[in-house]
Amino acid sequence: MRLRSIQFENFRNHRSFSFEPEDGINLIYGQNGSGKTSILEGIHYCALTKGFVSAADGECLSFSAGYFLLTALFESSSGIETAVRLSYTKESGKKLQIDGNELKPFSLHIGSIPCISFSPPEIVIVSGPPGERRRFLDNAVCQSDRRYLDNLLIYRRLLQQRNALLQQLSQSPGKDRSMLQLWSENLASSAASVTAGRVRFLAEFHPFVELLHRDLSGGQTPSIEYSSTIGRLLEPVPESELRERFLQRFQENEQQEILRGQTLSGPHRDELIFLSDGRESKRYSSQGQQRTFLISLKLALFQYFNEKIGETPICLLDDIFSELDGKRTAAVLDILEGCGQTLISSADLKNHPGSAVHHLQTTPSTQNS
């Protein structure tokens, strides 16, 4: 997959801007505030319908603008073109058109344009709370497994409905609990599907992480463990067994869940544990080691997607040079040479043979780069 062109209207500090990257490595450099990150975020929006800096859609509007518009043309490795038009207004919200046809829900677009991103704030995937690692895992599996995305959306709806019933029971202690058993059975089945998809992905993904992390870290051995509310899962487990374990846990926690008005077990509370040489990275690794682990995860995703779905992802790397020393920078660039189209933002010009260089001026509303 490659991006042929993208146009910005009123997107962050790009009032009107066009960008046409080359194949291979593209270095986008310029002073802070020139709009380097905004280019990468706009591409991410077109690929995954959201930015990678977790900002609300309204925050991406240029100052005083009432709308933003992104128009992009992508081409697959087989030569098939996909035209993406993503717009947002304060009144109507976000709209997505693919090849001229409006697409709803947006989830139907996920996976069509595989995309890997890195930005410094994403270090929370390694160092932050469990929700950040669950989000990383869900985003990764959704791009490579359409069925998983459907199962995840179903699980979230069932979870919301079961929690609503638990809150009703909490407020009315004498209320009939017969419906709770039905919701517990449905949620247990859905939780089993989501958990099985996650564990299956990790089993396939880990070898890619192991090889890359050893190269970038100087020989450290990484491992990834899935810690579920029904126990630590180190290898794939049949869905039927997972379902029974979740249902048993719901029954064991029923009284406590009613008192608290929320479901206390399930994929929404599971944890992903990253380890280097058997020590948890979140607790025992330095910031530099945590960054190296994160970069290994991101580059491993590229290799995994390339093999799993047969399409080369687009790599978006925001300010990656500031996170690495010279030796690791050279190692990453060597790896990226075989990674299809890559766009890297940097405040400094880095000389790398074969890279296309795009210099952004401090007035990004112009058409030139």
* pLDDT tens by residue, 314-352: 999 998 877 677 777 777 888 888 778 999 998 776 666
pLDDT at 222 over 70: yes
When the pLDDT of each residue in the chain is averaged and rounded to a whole number, the result is: 90
Q: Is the pLDDT of residue 130 over 70?
A: yes
Q: Is 202 exposed, middle or buried (0-12, 13-18, 19+ CB in 10 A)?
A: buried
pLDDT value for 32: 81
Is 166 buried (19+), middle (13-18) or exposed (0-12) by CB count in 10 A?
buried
Residue 174 DSSP class: T
pLDDT digits (tens, 9 = 90+) for 151-186: 999 999 999 999 999 999 999 877 888 899 999 999
Tell me the one-letter amino acid at 2: R
Q: 15 pLDDT exceeds 50?
A: yes
Of 10-19, 87-96, 209-218, 333-342, minimum mean pLDDT range: 333-342
Beta bridge partners of 342: 25, 315
Confidence at residue 358, expressed as pLDDT on a 0 to 100 scale: 86
pLDDT 10s digits, 26-69: 999 888 888 899 999 999 999 999 987 667 899 899 988 999 99
Q: Give the model's pLDDT for residue 33.
A: 81
Instruction: Tell me the mean pLDDT in the region 263-292.
Output: 94
pTM of the predicted model as reported, rounded to 2 decimal places = 0.86
